Amino acid sequence: EVQLVESGGSLIQPGGSLRLSCAASGFSVSSNYMNWVRQAPGKGLEWVSVIYSGDDTYYADSVKGRFTISRDSSRNTLYLQMSSLRADDTAVYYCARDPTYGDPWGHFDLWGRGTLVTVSS
């Protein structure tokens, strides 16, 4: 079955670090453009980061310098390393697949169910 399963979300104190994982099955994360998208409580969707060809990356301004996206082909897993976490990083974090190639920007045809990150003291 083709699917994405996120994990790693938890309650973390402000200033802390956390690594989210997104395990893929049925396709290769290394052969696709992969993204992280988040949704804060009661808010809309916010794109966070993309990793695409040659492992090039882009980040939203709100997380640039604090978050790092990466992937491990041997584990077929996408990661999001988050540091210097703030209260406004509290959200459900989704990983999503972009089936297109070329530009780093595309639509997302496959999503996981998300993992909740709560930043609070």
Partner 1 sequence: DIQMTQSPSTLSASVGDRVTITCRASQTINIWLAWYQLKPGKAPKLLIYEASSLESGVPSRFSGSGSGTDFTLTISSLQPDDFATYYCQQYHDYSTFGQGTKVEIK
Residue numbers at the binding site for partner 1 (CB under 8 A): 4, 35, 44-47, 50, 58, 60, 94, 96, 103, 105-114
Nearer to partner 1, 89 or 98 (CB): 98
Least Å distance between CB 83 and partner 1? 22
Least CB distance from residue 46 to partner 1, whole Å?
7
The least CB distance from residue 106 to partner 1, in Å, is 5
- Tokens 């990793």 correspond to 51
Number of CB atoms found within 10 A of residue 17's CB: 11
Q: Give 40: exposed, middle or buried? Use CB within 10 Å, 0-12, 13-18, 19+.
A: middle
Question: For partner 1, which is the closer residue by CB, 23 or 60?
Answer: 60
Is residue 93 within 8 A of residue 80, CB to CB? The reply is yes
